[in-house]
Amino acid sequence: MSEPIAMAKQAPSLMPTTEQRSRLRSIRKFKDGLSRYGVMSAGLAVVFSLGLIFFYLFSEIAPLFRGASVDIVKTYTPAQLNQVESDATEYLTLERYEEIGASFKRSGAVNFFNVVDGSKVLDVSVPRAADANFTSLATSTPDHGLVAYGYSNGQVSVTKVNYALSYPQDKRFITPSLVYPLGETPLQLDANGAALTQLAIQETSSGILIGAVTADQRLQLAIYSSSENMITGEVSVNQEIFTLPPLPLGTNPVAMQIDEGAQHLIIATDTSQLLLYKIVDPTAITRLDPVTVPGGKITAMEFLVGTASLVIGTDQGEVSQWFLVRNNEDNIYHITFVRAFDALEGAITRLAPEHARRGFWASDDKGNIGIYYGTSERTLLLDSVGDKPINQIAISPIHNRTLLLDDSNQLTVADVWNKHPEVSFSSLWQKVWYEGRDAPEYIWQASSGSDNFEAKMSFVPLSVGTLKAAFFAMLFAIPLGVMGAIYTAYFMTPKLRGLVKPTIEIMEALPTVILGFLAGLWLAPFVENHLPAIFAILILLPVIMLVTGYIWSRFPESIRTRMPEGWEAVILVVPIILTVWACVAASPFTEILLFDGSMRQWFTENGIDYSQRNALVVGIVMGFAVIPTIFSIAEDAVFSVPRHLTQGSLALGATRWQTVVGVVLPTASPGIFSAMMMGFGRAVGETMIVLMATGNSPVVNFNIFEGMRTFSANIAVELPETAVASTHFRVLFLAALVLLALTFVVNTLAEIIRQRLRKRYSNL
pLDDT level of residue 237 (50, 70, 90 thresholds): confident
Strand, helix or coil for residue 607: coil
Query: Which of 48-57, 364-373, 389-398 is predicted with the least confidence, judged by mean pLDDT?
Result: 48-57
Check: CB of residue 313 under 8 Å from CB of residue 298: yes
What pLDDT is recorded for position 348? 93
User: pLDDT tens digit string along 64-75?
Assistant: 988 899 999 999
Cα–Cα separations (whole angstroms), residue 66 to 60, 378, 529:
12, 11, 52
Task: Kindly state the average pLDDT of the residues 637-666.
Answer: 84
Task: Kindly state the average pLDDT of the residues 420-425.
Answer: 90
User: pLDDT tens digit string along 637-646?
Assistant: 888 888 888 8
What backbone torsions phi and psi does residue 298 show, to the nearest 5 degrees? -70, 130
pLDDT level of residue 764 (50, 70, 90 thresholds): low
Check: CB of residue 482 under 8 Å from CB of residue 634: yes
Query: Which of 140-154, 262-276, 419-433, 448-462 is predicted with the least confidence, judged by mean pLDDT?
Result: 448-462
User: pLDDT tens digit string along 426-482?
Assistant: 899 999 999 888 889 999 988 776 667 788 899 999 999 999 999 999 998 999 999
Angle at Cα 236 formed by Cα 108 and Cα 192, nearest 5°? 60
**2 has a pLDDT exceeding 60:** no
Task: Kindly state the average pLDDT of the residues 614-620.
Answer: 89
**300 has a pLDDT exceeding 90:** yes
What pLDDT is recorded for position 311? 94
What pLDDT is recorded for position 757? 76
User: pLDDT tens digit string along 546-603?
Assistant: 898 888 888 887 787 788 777 878 888 889 999 999 999 998 988 888 888 888 888 8
Q: To the nearest whole number, what is the mean pLDDT of the chain?
A: 87
What pLDDT is recorded for position 9? 56
What pLDDT is recorded for position 6? 52
pLDDT level of residue 266 (50, 70, 90 thresholds): very high
**305 has a pLDDT exceeding 60:** yes
Task: Kindly state the average pLDDT of the residues 707-718.
Answer: 90
Q: CB-based burial of residue 17 (10 Å sphere; 0-12 exposed, 13-18 middle, 19+ buried)?
A: exposed
Residue 477 CB: number of other CB atoms within 10 A? 27
Residue 113 CB: number of other CB atoms within 10 A? 25
Return the top range by mean pLDDT from 176-180, 696-700, 720-724: 176-180
Distance CA 742, CA 733 (A): 14
Distance CA 290, CA 432 (A): 26
Number of helical H runs and strand E runs in the chain: 18, 32
What pLDDT is recorded for position 202? 92
**150 has a pLDDT exceeding 90:** yes
Enter the DSSP assignment of 271: T
User: pLDDT tens digit string along 482-534?
Assistant: 998 888 888 888 888 888 888 888 888 888 888 888 988 899 899 888 889 98
Whole-number percent of the chain with pLDDT over 70: 96
What pLDDT is recorded for position 752? 84
What pLDDT is recorded for position 451? 62
CA atoms within 13 A on the CB side of 224: 25
pLDDT level of residue 11 (50, 70, 90 thresholds): low
Cα dihedral across residues 677, 681, 682, 686: positive or negative = positive
Distance CA 490, CA 141 (A): 75
**Residue 369 or 567, more confident:** 369
pLDDT level of residue 368 (50, 70, 90 thresholds): very high
What pLDDT is recorded for position 257? 93
Check: CB of residue 696 under 8 Å from CB of residue 707: yes
What pLDDT is recorded for position 494? 84
Chain center to CA of 630: 33
User: pLDDT tens digit string along 91-107?
Assistant: 999 999 999 999 999 98
Query: Which of 220-234, 585-599, 669-683 is predicted with the least confidence, judged by mean pLDDT?
Result: 220-234
What is the amino acid identity at position 22? S
**4 has a pLDDT exceeding 70:** no
Angle at Cα 603 formed by Cα 602 and Cα 608, nearest 5°? 155
Check: CB of residue 92 under 8 Å from CB of residue 101: yes
What pLDDT is recorded for position 81? 81
Cα–Cα separations (whole angstroms), residue 405 to 101, 148, 411, 413, 414:
12, 20, 5, 9, 11
